[in-house]
């Protein structure tokens, strides 16, 4: 297997299964943590990520197809495309991203890192990847963070197209409003109250 990517907590390998390209995301052992805590975390996170991918795929959102799930590994379809981060981003891409996030939030999933680095342009359209920081739940705050992260990552004009598409989804108004509130209260000012 060939290593094709490495993050802080997982490595991605390339392989094949029945002639299909396969990506394997493996959460590797962290030596600084005691074994029992480390394996518990890796197991729960792998399971959580796979569950979210299944839920999203089931509701027709474009995510890599899941082949199998191991204790610490997710075996999934290898996408053939380029990261939106590395492409010329057009308003139409941001429109697709906005619609996609709206649908994700309707399924009560917050992505946790919804930026062009985690969106992939493929022949069939835009795919969302990396659900390592995703959460299931109905938290307005978590969903609003998805908007803020995107806002920080692209230029204002593109963000406008994104929000326009996003606002078409159910419950979008509250989440947009919350994201604006969060921005006003400032990332750090809120925390300072508790940090003294």
Partner 1 sequence: MIVLGLESSAHTFGAGVVKNGRVLANEKSMYRIGSGGMIPAKVARFHAENARFVIEKALESSGLGFVDIEGIGYTKGPGLGPCLQVAQLYAKTMARRLKVGIAPVNHCVAHIEITRHTEGLRDPVMLYVSGGNSQILKLVETPYLHYRVIGETLDIGVGNMLDAFARKMGLDPAWGSSVERCADKGRYIKLPYNVKGMDFSFTGLLTKASGLIEHKESNDLCFSLQETSFSMLCEATERALMLTKSREIGLCGGVAQNKRLADMLRAVAEEHNARFGCAPNEFNADNGAMIAYVAEKMLASGFSIGPEGCDVKQRYRSNEARVFR
Q: What residues line the site for partner 1 (CB under 8 A)?
A: 7-9, 30-34, 36-38, 40-41, 112-113, 133, 188, 191-192, 194-196
Pick between residue 7 and residue 70 the one whose CB is nearest to partner 1: 7
- Residue whose C-alpha is closest to residue 130's, from 110, 111, 103: 111
Q: Find the shortest distance in angstroms from Cβ 161 to partner 1.
A: 26
Q: Find the shortest distance in angstroms from Cβ 47 to partner 1.
A: 15
Side-chain-side CA neighbours of 51 within 13 Å: the count stands at 14
Pick between residue 31 and residue 156 the one whose CB is nearest to partner 1: 31
- Residue whose C-alpha is closest to residue 146's, from 120, 172, 184: 172
Catalytic member of 38, 86, 113, 174: 113
Based on the residue annotation, tell me whether 113 is a catalytic residue of this protein. yes
Q: Find the shortest distance in angstroms from Cβ 177 to partner 1.
A: 22
Provide the 8-state DSSP code for 151.
H
Q: With contact defined as beta carbons under 8 Å apart, do 84 and 92 qualify? A: no
Pick between residue 137 and residue 188 the one whose CB is nearest to partner 1: 188
Q: With contact defined as beta carbons under 8 Å apart, do 112 and 69 qualify? A: no
Provide the 8-state DSSP code for 79.
P
Pick between residue 37 and residue 82 the one whose CB is nearest to partner 1: 37
Which residues are catalytically annotated? 113
């Amino acid at each position: 297997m060939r290593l094709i990517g490495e993050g802080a907590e997982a490595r991605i390998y390339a392989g094949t299964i029945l002639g299909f390209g396969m990506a394997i995301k493996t959460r590797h052992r962290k030596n600084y943590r005691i074994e029992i805590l480390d394996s518990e975390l890796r197991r729960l996170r792998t399971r959580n990520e796979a569950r979210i991918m299944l839920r999203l795929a089931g509701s027709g959102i474009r995510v890599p197809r899941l082949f199998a799930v191991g204790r610490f590994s997710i075996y999934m379809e290898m996408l053939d495309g380029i990261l939106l981060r590395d492409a010329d981003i057009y308003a139409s891409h941001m429109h697709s991203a906005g619609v996609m996030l709206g649908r994700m939030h309707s399924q009560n999933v917050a992505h946790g890192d919804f930026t062009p680095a985690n969106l992939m342009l493929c022949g069939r359209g835009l795919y969302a990847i990396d659900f390592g920081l995703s959460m299931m739940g109905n938290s307005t705050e978590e969903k609003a963070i998805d908007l803020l992260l995107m806002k920080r990552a692209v230029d204002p004009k593109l963000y406008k197209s994104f929000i326009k598409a996003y606002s078409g989804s159910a419950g979008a108004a509250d989440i947009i409003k919350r994201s604006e509130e969060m921005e006003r209260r400032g990332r750090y000012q809120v925390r300072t109250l508790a940090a003294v």
